[in-house]
Amino acid sequence: MSIEGELAIVDPGRFAHDRSRSSLGFGDEVFASAKRAFVNWKMFDLGWVRVVNAAAPIECGQIIAVEVRTLGFWTVNLSRILETVDSETQFGFLYSTTNQHVEQGEETFILRRNPETAEVSNELEAVSRPRHLLARFGFPMARFFQHKFARDSHRRMREAVNLNL
């Protein structure tokens, strides 16, 4: 699986902008399988990251609690879903961090089905900067884990789609 993307490195006081995309396969069945994986929060089912309230629906206003283990510490970060999309060619959401998150910013998780080629892609886009003091001091390490999340999330979605076909 190849992941296409742009990873930006900026100083801790400014926002970093990351984008990545991976192909999940082709056709309606792949798109339906990917949607099921999204609804079940598989993109966060990474062993070191998980959604605590995994029964939460993908809907505007929903708070999502994400538990993350980094450097031996567990943290729970809360984000609120601001926008959703559910059409024949797109499915996903945009969420924004709350004050109970180590980072400040927004992240988009989108599945796209190209109507011409039937290719199904998984796209992540994040704009963030450290909020918590430890995240600011550990900025390079925070960026490492953000990049690791993107890679692992893409891999996990590919696995989930293949299992559900």
- pLDDT per residue over 111-131, tens digit each? 999 999 999 999 999 998 877
Question: Residue 117 has what DSSP assignment?
Answer: T
Residue 80 in any domain: the answer is yes
Number of domains observed in the structure of the chain: 1
Pairing of strands 90-97, 73-86: antiparallel
Nearest alpha carbon to residue 165 among 2, 31, 14, 21 = 31
Burial 52-70 (b: 16+ CB within 10 A, else e): eeeeeebeeebebbbebeb
Beta carbons within 8 Å of 45's beta carbon, 6+ residues apart: 51, 156, 160
pTM of the model: 0.88
Strand (E) positions, the chain?
3-6, 16-26, 49-51, 63-70, 73-86, 90-97, 103-113, 119-130
- pLDDT per residue over 9-36, tens digit each? 455 567 888 999 999 999 999 999 999 9
Residue 72 in any domain: the answer is yes
User: What per-residue confidence (pLDDT) applies to 86?
Assistant: 97
Residue 4 in any domain: the answer is no
- The CATH number of whichever domain residue 26 belongs to comes to 3.30.530.20
Residue 9 in any domain: the answer is no
Quick check: 92 and 38 in contact, CB under 8 A? yes
Give the range of the structural domain holding residue 113, as residue numbers without chain letter: 18-164
pLDDT tens digits in sequence order for the chain, 165 residues long: 455 655 454 555 678 889 999 999 999 999 999 999 999 999 999 999 999 999 999 999 999 999 999 888 898 999 999 999 999 999 999 999 999 887 889 999 999 999 999 999 999 999 988 777 777 777 887 788 889 999 999 999 999 999 876
Residue 44 in any domain: the answer is yes
* Count of residues making up the chain: 165
Residue 39 in any domain: the answer is yes
